[in-house]
């Protein structure tokens, strides 16, 4: 391109492109018209700008067209390659008004013609884009899909594949490339065109979100509140109930401890409620704890059951707000009789097996100095006429 609309004229001979000399072009407008017509333009004129060609060969010189020719090389001219021209004499033309509409291409076989591009068709309203995708025209390779664009289409690899140097779509290993969205506690496994996220052992979830499933902490309360409700345990990434066969306060203590609540005065209840239409499944039956275990799974139990949906085990637990400690009948700030509050009731502590170590724990609970604390027993401080004990 030597100007905004000005083009250098070349013809191909023996598979080589060569220049056309501008001798005779100023005097013969037919030369320009044949060139422009060959490219489906209505009219044109000889270029006005020096082409500034730095190298090349000339194929045509002394061209003299009548205007009826379909191709420039059909016009009268010197023998191919015979010329007396310099590079500054390479001819340029300015063509105007392309007669071919959008969606067509110019063809020339002695006379110019406008034909539909492969991606267009013609009807009574004009030229229209063909959606090759809906017509199943494209011949895309395996693992690729086609996308229609105005006047054409292109093939693109499906998600999970990339285009290789051979032009074929090959599987992407999203796991190795770090392109997966698996949870940090999941294992990524590459598959053809995709990948699978699987939670690691000890975790539950869909692989993209994995949470701890350790049975020692996998316990929750339902149909209640934070401290009371029906017991459900997590096993194999599934929450299920505990059957109330043989369910006692000792079992409740373990459940409360496992919940991170206080086991003291923990209570059990049976014949748990259920909601209409609710399906009840069980993980544990015949649980028989001693009370000092850390998890219900540590207690003797059965993994099979014979329980109906009305046999769900429940608990009443305590949290820190439910308990308290105080000194009564004090003579000083640092001595007195210990009472414990469980929920809203204060009761005494029996001195059976009470030791200095117990006294030190009590002082720490009272936020008093505990070093050197000593027990006091056997009525130095009378508890009163009526005494009720918690422990």
Q: What is the pLDDT of residues 148-175, one digit of tens each?
A: 545 444 567 778 887 766 667 888 899 9
d(CA 37, CA 43): 7
Within 13 Å and on the Cβ side, how many CA atoms surround 308? 3
- Domains of the chain plus CATH, in order, are 6-99 (3.10.250.10), 219-318 (3.10.250.10), 321-391 (3.10.250.10)
Average pLDDT of the residues of the chain:
78
Q: What is the pLDDT of residue 277?
A: 57
In the beta sheet, which residues pair with residue 219?
233
In the beta sheet, which residues pair with residue 92?
8
Own/partner contacts of 239-242, CB < 8 Å, gap of 24 or more, are 240/281, 240/282, 240/283, 241/272, 241/280, 241/281, 241/282, 241/283, 241/312, 241/313, 242/282, 242/283, 242/284, 242/285, 242/287, 242/296, 242/312, 242/313
Give the residue carrying structure tokens 């099979």. Answer: 304
d(CA 360, CA 84): 120
Q: What is the pLDDT of residue 152?
A: 47
Q: What is the pLDDT of residue 64?
A: 92
Q: What is the pLDDT of residue 272?
A: 60
The three-state (H, E, C) secondary structure of the chain, written as one string: CCCCCEEECEEEECCEEEEEECCCCCCCHHHHHHHHHHCCEEEEEECCCCCCCCCCCEEECCCECCCCCCCHHHCECCCCCCCCCCHHHECEEEEEEECCCCCEEEEECCCEEEEECCCEEEECCEEEECCCCCCCCCCCCCCEEEEEECCEEEEEECCCEEECCCCCEEECCHHHHCCCCCCCCEEEEEECCEEEEEECCCEEECCCCEEECCCCCCEEEECCCCCEEEEEEEECCEEEEEECCCCCHHHHHHHHHHCCCEEEEEEEECCCCCCCCCCCCEEEECCCCCCCCCCHHHCCCECCCCCCCCCECEEEEECHHHEEEEEEEEEECCEEEEEEEECCEEEECCCCCCCHHHHHHHHHHCCCCCCCCCCCCCCCCCCCCCCCECC
- Dump pLDDT digits (tens) for 106-131: 665 445 556 555 544 545 555 454 44
Retrieve residue 104's tokens: 């067509």
Q: What is the pLDDT of residue 300?
A: 93
Q: What is the pLDDT of residue 131?
A: 44
Residues in the chain predicted with pLDDT less than 50, given as ranges, are 1-4, 109-110, 119-120, 122, 127, 129-138, 149, 151-153
Q: What is the pLDDT of residue 54?
A: 76
């Amino acid at each position: 391109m030597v100007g905004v609309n000005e083009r250098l004229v070349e013809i191909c001979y023996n598979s080589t492109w060569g220049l056309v000399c501008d001798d005779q072009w100023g005097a013969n407008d037919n030369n320009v018209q044949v060139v422009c017509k060959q490219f489906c333009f209505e009219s044109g004129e000889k270029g006005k700008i020096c082409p500034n060609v730095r190298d090349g060969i000339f194929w045509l010189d002394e061209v003299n067209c009548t205007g009826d020719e379909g191709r420039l090389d059909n016009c009268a001219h010197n023998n191919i390659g015979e010329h007396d021209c310099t590079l500054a004499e390479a001819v340029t033309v300015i063509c105007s008004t392309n007669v071919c509409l959008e969606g067509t291409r110019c063809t020339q076989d002695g006379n110019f013609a406008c034909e539909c591009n492969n991606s267009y068709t013609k009807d009574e309203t004009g030229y229209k884009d063909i959606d090759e995708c809906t017509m199943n025209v494209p011949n895309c390779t395996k693992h690729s899909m086609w996308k229609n664009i105005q006047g054409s289409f292109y093939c693109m690899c499906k998600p999970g594949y990339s285009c290789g140097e051979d032009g074929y779509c090959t599987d992407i290993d999203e796991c190795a490339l770090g392109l997966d969205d698996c949870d940090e506690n999941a294992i990524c496994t590459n598959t053809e065109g995709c990948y699978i996220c699987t939670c690691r052992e000890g975790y539950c979830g869909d692989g993209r979100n994995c949470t701890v499933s350790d049975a020692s902490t996998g316990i929750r309360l339902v149909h209640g509140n934070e401290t009371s409700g029906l017991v459900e345990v997590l096993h194999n990434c599934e929450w299920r109930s505990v059957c109330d066969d043989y369910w006692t306060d000792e079992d409740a203590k373990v459940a409360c401890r496992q919940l991170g609540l206080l086991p003291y005065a923990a209570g059990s209840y049976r014949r748990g409620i259920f909601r209409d239409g609710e399906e009840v499944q069980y993980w544990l039956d015949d649980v028989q704890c001693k009370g000092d275990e850390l998890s219900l799974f540590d207690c003797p139990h059965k993994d099979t059951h014979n329980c109906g949906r009305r046999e769900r085990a429940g608990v009443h637990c305590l949290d820190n707000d439910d308990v308290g400690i105080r000194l009564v009948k004090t003579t000083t700030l640092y001595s007195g009789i210990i009472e414990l509050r469980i929920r809203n009731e204060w009761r005494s502590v029996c001195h059976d097996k009470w030791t200095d170590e117990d006294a030190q724990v009590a002082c720490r609970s009272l936020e008093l100095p505990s070093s050197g604390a000593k027990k006091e027993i056997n009525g130095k401080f009378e508890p009163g006429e009526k005494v009720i004990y918690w422990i």
